[in-house]
Amino acid sequence: MSAIFTRNRIIGLSIALGIFLVDQLVKWYVSGPLALQQRGVVQVLPFFDLRWVENYGVSLGMLQATSETMRWGLVIVTFLIAVAVTVWLMRERVMGEILGLSLILGGALGNIRDRYLYGYVIDYADLHFGEWRPFLIFNIADAAISIGVVIILLRAFFVKDSSDTSPIRAQDAPGN
């Protein structure tokens, strides 16, 4: 295995760990010293508040865990997805994909930990313009997952794999 591929994977795993740690640090701060759960809302900027939300669902609030069985089902399903992302990351060679996967992995682990410990995910970031909110209330893990997915999708649609740059010769074309 080439050293560059190993280095890229180590960087990717380090990014995932960093996202996880920053996410957990901010969640600790808003739930502990800031006491956001008791305060409800803290205005930071005219268009950004910290607002306590206990998210019992997954993406966009779907699949609400309304029972302990559903809670643990979500923990297991999201854990299995995180395992699949880790396997993909460890097989990937291109840093662009590794970056996207590491953001997804770090965010997933942060939200899995919340759901495991509390039964819900702590959300707090409320971006709004008057009454209009372009996003649901979210956290750093959610943002990392979303950015990671966008990176993977953009690369899939717009970045040509460098291994496909050689022209197909007539004798190599299918059917010859």
Using only the alpha carbons of the chain, give its radius of gyration: 20
In whole angstroms, give the CA distance from residue 56 to residue 122. Answer: 9
Residue 49 falls in the annotated catalytic set: no
**Catalytically annotated residue among 114, 123, 161, 172:** 123
The letter for the amino acid at 163 is S
Tokens 């760990």 -> residue: 17
Residue 123 falls in the annotated catalytic set: yes
CA 7 to chain centre: 22
**Catalytically annotated residue among 126, 142, 161, 172:** 142
Angle, alpha carbons 74-143-10 (nearest 5°): 85
Helices (H) then strands (E): counts for the chain = 5, 3
> For the residues of 27-59, what is the DSSP string, one character each?
HHHHHTTT-HHHH-EEEEETTEEEEEEEE-SSG
Show which residues are catalytic: 123, 142
